[in-house]
């Protein structure tokens, strides 16, 4: 044990964010790394035990964190996303959840050996997946939009439903087993659930109105949202335990569909908070487990229950509930397999284990073991298989990192053609149909619309694209696009064409150079310069670096007017040139540049001479 609680908090934060970084660096499931880290410092080596060390603060911290995570997830649930997936989402969240509850309860009774009462409580709880595990998996794997949206909506919508279903099952048990049954508690349950939804809607509408009317200043908006979420959660939870999750979900969905620009501006802040909370809370939960719990998960009845839940219950509930929908067999198979359990299952099962034991159900003592077994095995299995399975089923957008080009003009069309030849996914976006004519004629994928419009957000699939290039003649627009999408793509993957060169842009360049986006290629080359070079016969040239012809030699021999565009490494990694580029091309890299025609003519001439000399040598040898 550490002598300082502050040191323990620091260690938990370090392990959580460290796991996230390792997962990003080596493309591994973050949830798996966090689980392993928590188990190592907790029950295995006994370094920390947050459950004991935090004392009475442990449960409130977990509850508040889960509420904020669930709210952040529901803040992304715009009803516009339901186009084409509304029916499957409704079926999975209702019919599918009910089937999973019944089948899960039967499995818990006959396989895990739980009594009917405990089985139906835990069966209701285990229908949850939740944003704490689904969102990191979706972030890690590039699924196609439809299955990704279904998994996201299911995880966030079913999360509070599962907790409430467990509460409902417990109230039913108390009612049935009571000597003098009283239906008041059942009515109270439904009334409390309805109250939680109304409370969340009221808080959401109220907060949205205050934002729109300017009653909350910009610097207080994010803190106000977090405090309101906690108040909403606590208010509903005081009426009935676990209804707080339903309340914050309703609040998040209400705000998400009010069309408030302030909410969109804060979304990235909320995502950052959510990642931090998921990282630390998962470490805390796994580190608080007992070693005895880990040893018991390998018992035959526990393993049998977990396997049936993964391979029978989940797929059946999805396939049955989605019959008659537009989902393909492959989409049903993927959704039917991916159902990792997470924080909500772990925290709520602990609560029910204690109240069921107090009620005299001794078999409830294995609920923590059963829950952790399901959480750990599903997190590991689904974390490592979601990517490969999606590729196998043709539902993955994985491949070479794609490029999203804003602005259609002669240069961007030729750039897109060169990227396409290298099998790099590319799309050109422009709001002018006339500007897109060259892209259409060249057979380049395009999208007609404004990159900053809400319609484009829902109609253009940006998942395959890792890079964004803003190359229009409106430099203020380029900077605005880069600033808007920088949180999504990352600071190093967003570029804009140079605003510096021409006098008519002198004033704007002083402004736009200081806001989002790296300068693409070199600041001395504006879009007009690049288009002029094409008009003067400049060509796109591919240069392969070898031991005999390295990067230093290439730089020495190149023409001074050559424009370095991008390079592709043997691994397929794509890097665009910019003044901030720190990578030095190595042997095996492929450099694509815009080269003057005389350079290309000299190359062709040399090739012809070599061929001529070769033929001459052959003729001499014949003679």
**Which structural domain, as residue segments, surrounds residue 593?**
402-611
Please report the pLDDT score of residue 319 as a whole number: 92
Looking at the fold, whether 388 and 462 belong to one and the same domain comes out as no
Q: In sequence order, what are the beta bridge partners of 404?
A: 427, 468
Please report the pLDDT score of residue 182 as a whole number: 66
Higher pLDDT, 171 or 91: 91
Domain assignment of residue 53, yes or no: yes
Residue 507 pLDDT exceeds 50 = no
Residue 509 pLDDT exceeds 50 = no
Task: Provide CB contacts within 8 A for 113, sequence distance 6+.
Answer: 301, 363
Name the domain boundary from 392, 426, 453. Answer: 392
Please report the pLDDT score of residue 110 as a whole number: 92
Helix (H, G, I), strand (E, B) or coil at 427: strand
The tally of CA atoms less than 13 A away on the side-chain side of residue 600 is: 13
* Residue 106 binned pLDDT confidence (cut-offs 50, 70, 90): very high
Per the structure block, which two tokens stand in for 531? 């288009």
Domain assignment of residue 502, yes or no: yes
Domain assignment of residue 617, yes or no: no
Q: Is 559 left (phi over 0), alpha (psi -120 to 50) or beta?
A: beta
User: Whose CA is closest to 322, among 97, 76, 23, 613?
Assistant: 97
| Number of continuous H segments (helices) and E segments (strands) in the chain | 27, 10
Looking at the fold, whether 434 and 546 belong to one and the same domain comes out as yes
Please report the pLDDT score of residue 424 as a whole number: 83
Looking at the fold, whether 565 and 522 belong to one and the same domain comes out as yes
User: Whose CA is closest to 494, among 472, 476, 478?
Assistant: 478
Please report the pLDDT score of residue 329 as a whole number: 92
Looking at the fold, whether 291 and 429 belong to one and the same domain comes out as no
Looking at the fold, whether 592 and 563 belong to one and the same domain comes out as yes
Alpha-carbon distance of 66 to 149, in angstroms, equals: 21
Domain assignment of residue 215, yes or no: no
- 266-274: long-range contacts at Cβ-Cβ below 8 A with a sequence spacing of 24 or more? 266/221, 266/222, 266/225, 267/75, 267/76, 268/487, 268/488, 269/222, 270/71, 270/72, 270/75, 270/222, 270/225, 271/72, 273/68, 273/72, 273/226, 274/68, 274/69, 274/72, 274/73, 274/131, 274/135
Looking at the fold, whether 363 and 419 belong to one and the same domain comes out as no
Alpha-carbon distance of 269 to 278, in angstroms, equals: 14
Name the domain boundary from 337, 360, 392. Answer: 392
User: Whose CA is closest to 472, among 520, 514, 424?
Assistant: 520
Looking at the fold, whether 470 and 578 belong to one and the same domain comes out as yes
Alpha-carbon distance of 239 to 220, in angstroms, equals: 29
Looking at the fold, whether 84 and 62 belong to one and the same domain comes out as yes
* Residue 124 binned pLDDT confidence (cut-offs 50, 70, 90): confident
Angle at which helix 410-421 crosses helix 527-535, to 10 degrees, equals 80
Higher pLDDT, 304 or 534: 304
Domain assignment of residue 371, yes or no: yes
Q: 134 with 340: CB under 8 angstroms?
A: yes
Any idea which residue has 């490592």 for tokens? 384
Residue 601 pLDDT exceeds 60 = no
Alpha-carbon distance of 317 to 320, in angstroms, equals: 5
Please report the pLDDT score of residue 503 as a whole number: 47
Please report the pLDDT score of residue 71 as a whole number: 82
Alpha-carbon distance of 381 to 399, in angstroms, equals: 22
User: Whose CA is closest to 198, among 232, 152, 238?
Assistant: 232
Please report the pLDDT score of residue 623 as a whole number: 47
Please report the pLDDT score of residue 541 as a whole number: 83
Task: Provide CB contacts within 8 A for 541, sequence distance 6+.
Answer: 592, 593, 594, 595, 599, 600, 603
* Residue 454 binned pLDDT confidence (cut-offs 50, 70, 90): low
CATH number of the domain at 448, please: 3.40.50.720
Please report the pLDDT score of residue 149 as a whole number: 83
* Residue 55 binned pLDDT confidence (cut-offs 50, 70, 90): confident
- Region 76-89 average pLDDT: 72
Write down the mean pLDDT value for the chain.
80
- Region 289-315 average pLDDT: 87
Alpha-carbon distance of 37 to 381, in angstroms, equals: 17
Per the structure block, which two tokens stand in for 232? 């909403």
Residue 311 pLDDT exceeds 90 = yes
Per the structure block, which two tokens stand in for 426? 């590319």
128-158 tens-digit pLDDT: 786 667 777 776 677 777 888 888 888 877 7
Alpha-carbon distance of 114 to 111, in angstroms, equals: 8
Please report the pLDDT score of residue 2 as a whole number: 56
The tally of CA atoms less than 13 A away on the side-chain side of residue 251 is: 33
Please report the pLDDT score of residue 14 as a whole number: 92
Please report the pLDDT score of residue 181 as a whole number: 65
Alpha-carbon distance of 462 to 332, in angstroms, equals: 23
188-243 tens-digit pLDDT: 878 888 898 999 999 999 988 888 888 888 788 888 888 999 999 999 888 887 78
Looking at the fold, whether 342 and 431 belong to one and the same domain comes out as no
Looking at the fold, whether 172 and 126 belong to one and the same domain comes out as yes
Alpha-carbon distance of 434 to 96, in angstroms, equals: 48
What is the Cα 160 distance to its own chain's centre?
21
Lowest mean pLDDT among 20-34, 170-184, 289-303, 356-370: 170-184
Q: Alpha-carbon Rg of the chain, whole angstroms? A: 29
Name the domain boundary from 337, 364, 392. Answer: 392
- Region 559-565 average pLDDT: 79
Q: 422 with 570: CB under 8 angstroms?
A: no
Please report the pLDDT score of residue 384 as a whole number: 83
**Averaging pLDDT over each range in 102-106, 213-217, 388-392, which range is the top one?**
102-106
With residue 128 as reference, give the H or E element that holds it: none
Helix (H, G, I), strand (E, B) or coil at 496: strand
- Alpha helices, DSSP H only, in 92-217? 97-110, 116-125, 131-140, 145-177, 184-212
Q: Is 563 left (phi over 0), alpha (psi -120 to 50) or beta?
A: beta
Looking at the fold, whether 132 and 175 belong to one and the same domain comes out as yes
Lowest mean pLDDT among 76-80, 306-310, 354-358, 485-489: 76-80
- Region 549-555 average pLDDT: 77
Q: 287 with 2: CB under 8 angstroms?
A: no
Alpha-carbon distance of 186 to 172, in angstroms, equals: 7
Give the DSSP letter of residue 531. H
Per the structure block, which two tokens stand in for 412? 């961007």
Structural domains counted in the chain: 2
Please report the pLDDT score of residue 99 as a whole number: 92
Domain assignment of residue 257, yes or no: no
Domain assignment of residue 243, yes or no: no
Per the structure block, which two tokens stand in for 13? 């934060």
Q: In sequence order, what are the beta bridge partners of 467?
A: 403
CATH number of the domain at 130, please: 1.20.1530.20
Looking at the fold, whether 286 and 414 belong to one and the same domain comes out as no
Apex 168 CA angle, 163 and 173, nearest 5? 130
Q: Where are the beta strands (DSSP E) in 156-303?
A: none
* Residue 248 binned pLDDT confidence (cut-offs 50, 70, 90): confident
Domain assignment of residue 204, yes or no: no
Alpha-carbon distance of 53 to 8, in angstroms, equals: 9
């Amino acid at each position: 044990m550490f002598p300082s609680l502050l040191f323990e908090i620091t260690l938990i934060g370090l392990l959580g964010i460290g796991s996230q970084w390792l997962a990003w660096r080596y493309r591994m499931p973050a949830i798996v790394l966090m689980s392993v880290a928590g188990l190592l410092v907790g029950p295995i080596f006994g370094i920390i035990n947050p459950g004991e060390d935090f004392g009475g603060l442990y449960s409130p911290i977990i509850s508040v964190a889960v509420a904020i995570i669930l709210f952040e997830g529901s803040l992304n649930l715009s009803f516009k996303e339901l186009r084409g997936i509304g029916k499957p989402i409704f079926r999975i969240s209702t019919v599918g959840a009910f089937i999973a509850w019944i089948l899960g309860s039967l499995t818990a009774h006959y396989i895990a050996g739980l009594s009917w009462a405990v089985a139906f409580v835990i069966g209701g709880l285990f229908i949850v997946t939740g944003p704490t595990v689904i969102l990191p998996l979706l972030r890690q794997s590039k699924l196609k939009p439809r299955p990704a949206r279904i998994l996201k909506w299911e995880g966030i919508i079913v999360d509070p439903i599962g907790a409430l279903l467990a509460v409902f099952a417990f109230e039913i048990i108390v009612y049935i087993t009571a000597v003098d049954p009283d239906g008041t508690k059942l009515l109270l349950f439904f009334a409390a659930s309805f109250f939680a939804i109304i409370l969340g809607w009221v808080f959401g509408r109220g907060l949205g109105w205050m934002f729109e009317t300017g009653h909350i200043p910009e610097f207080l908006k994010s803190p106000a949202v977090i405090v309101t979420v906690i108040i909403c959660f606590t208010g509903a939870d005081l009426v009935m335990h676990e209804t707080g999750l339903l309340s914050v979900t309703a609040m998040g969905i209400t705000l998400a569909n009010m069309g408030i620009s302030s909410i969109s501006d804060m979304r990235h802040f909320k995502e950052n908070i959510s990642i931090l909370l998921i990282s630390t809370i998962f470490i805390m939960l796994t580190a608080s487990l007992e070693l005895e719990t880990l040893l018991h998960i390998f018992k035959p009845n526990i393993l049998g229950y977990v396997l049936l839940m993964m391979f029978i219950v989940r797929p059946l509930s999805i396939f049955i509930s989605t019959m008659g929908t537009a989902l393909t067999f492959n989409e049903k198979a993927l959704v039917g397999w991916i159902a990792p359990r997470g924080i909500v299952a772990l925290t709520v099962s602990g609560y029910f284990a204690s109240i069921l034991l107090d009620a005299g159900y001794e078999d409830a003592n294995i609920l923590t073991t059963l829950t952790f077994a399901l959480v750990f095995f599903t997190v590991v299995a689904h974390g490592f298989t979601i990517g490969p399975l999606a590729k196998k089923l043709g539902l993955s957008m994985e491949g070479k990192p794609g490029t999203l080009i804003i602005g259609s003009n002669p240069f961007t069309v030729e750039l897109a053609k060169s990227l396409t030849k290298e099998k790099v996914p590319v799309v050109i976006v422009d709001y002018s149909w006339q500007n897109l004519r060259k892209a259409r004629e060249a057979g380049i994928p395009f999208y007609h619309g404004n990159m900053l419009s809400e319609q484009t957000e829902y109609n253009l699939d940006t998942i395959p694209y890792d890079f964004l290039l803003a190359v229009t003649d409106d430099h203020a627009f380029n900077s605005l696009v880069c600033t808007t999408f920088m949180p999504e793509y990352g600071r190093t993957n967003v570029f804009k064409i140079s605003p510096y060169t021409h006098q008519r842009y002198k004033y704007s360049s002083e402004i736009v150079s200081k806001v989002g986006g790296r300068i693409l290629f070199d600041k001395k080359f504006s879009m007009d310069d690049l288009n002029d070079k094409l008009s003067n016969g400049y060509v796109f040239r591919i240069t392969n670096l070898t031991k005999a012809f390295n990067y230093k030699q290439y730089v020495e021999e190149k023409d001074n007017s050559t424009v370095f565009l991008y390079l592709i490494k043997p691994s397929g990694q794509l890097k665009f040139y910019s003044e901030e580029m720190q990578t030095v091309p190595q042997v095996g890299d492929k450099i694509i540049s815009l080269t003057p025609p005389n350079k290309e003519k000299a190359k062709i001439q040399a090739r012809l001479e070599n061929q001529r000399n070769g033929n001459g040598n052959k003729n001499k040898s014949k003679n």
